[in-house]
Amino acid sequence: MTFLDLARKNAWRKPLRTTLLIVCIAVAFLIHGLTASFLAGSQGASAASDNILGVMSASGRGQPLPMAHRARIAADPDVAAVGYMTRLRGFIDVEKNVVPISAVDPALLMETNGRELGLTPDLLEAIGQGRDRVLVGRALAEAEGWSVGQNITVTTFQVAKQDGGRDWRFVIAGIFEGESASTDTYFTIARYDYVNAARAKDKDTVDAFIIKPRDGVSPGVLAAHIDALFANSAAPTRTQSEKQFLEAFLRQYADIGLIVDLVTGAAFVTLLMIVINTMAFAVRERTFEIAVLKTLGISRMTILTLVLGETLFMFIIGGAIGLALARAGAIFAGPSLGLVFSPVVLLHATAIVLVLGLTTGLVPAVNAMRTPIMKAFRTR
């Protein structure tokens, strides 16, 4: 019998107990896999760029900036491209069915972060065929069941048209995919010229400028320089990266990263206590057998490795089941929930499996290794 066979048979000596432990481990890693996939998905900020800068009003997101700022920003030699954006938050049919709309100049958006959004020349040509054309992200299109050529009506919460109405009608010209599965595609791209001409107030203003720095330029240094440029103007700015903006935006609702850490931390601490206690009890049951192994010449280090192998065996089985379920959940949940079970999530979870597998078995393994032979024989 090989060493691995011996570890496996010891682990399955009490099938019910081992099965329950594996179920606990699988549930813990299912929770970890789903929460980590959420952070890696479009609802998190992990896919946002540190190099794309957003310039907003220093007074808050509700205060627009004058379009005249664009010329001064574009004149900076460290700026490669400047786009702009105005947001319209609206809903379809019922208010809880929120649809975000970003009104932009499509050509400038292509220059700043078109690659990250998965924009193509064909999509630009499609949205250019009419002022009421829009591009819809893949996640939003699948969530709403939209297709190319469909007419949609979005009722905005605040932005009113010149006739007093808040119903904005668009035609879907195309669907953009995003650079990767982690890219946020749960929004719509509309044309700024159409929205700016039709809205009742705040004409020729934008909610944010989008900046792509030149190669080799530090985004942090450029952000400070731009803010200094408008510090004494009537509309001072606050410049930050796309990633910082999304993290701050999500933090308005909750510190998602902290919540995820607390949930997974509580699950793993509970798991540690259960497995350590159970393994200590299981090893205590085999004290006499361990004494026999030592009498036969099995080294103390081999005894230690044998117990660690048992706990690692259970963690590998349970962790694999839990992560497989998390992977299946991310696939079947669809892009609307923003779950992305990426290779990074898998590698991180695998590292946790190995660390916990060795950590939980360490205390009972050391006890088994240090138990004197004569004392162990007296237990029978």
Amino acid symbol at 170 = F
**∠ at Cα 253 (252, 257), nearest 5°?**
95
Distance of CA 374 to the CA centre of its chain: 55
Which band of pLDDT confidence, cut at 50, 70 and 90, is reported for residue 187? confident
pLDDT in tens, 285-340: 777 777 777 787 778 888 888 888 888 888 899 999 999 998 888 887 765 566 77
Domain residue ranges of the chain, discontinuous segments joined by +: 1-43+247-375, 58-234
Contact 208, 56 (CB under 8 A): yes
pLDDT in tens, 270-287: 878 888 888 888 777 777
Which band of pLDDT confidence, cut at 50, 70 and 90, is reported for residue 122? very high
Pairing assessment for the beta strands 98-104 and 65-66 based on DSSP bridges: unpaired
pLDDT in tens, 134-161: 999 888 888 888 899 999 999 988 888 8
Pairing assessment for the beta strands 79-91 and 98-104 based on DSSP bridges: antiparallel
Q: Determine the Cα–Cα distance for residues 281 and 293; give it in Å rounded to an integer.
A: 19
Which band of pLDDT confidence, cut at 50, 70 and 90, is reported for residue 249? low
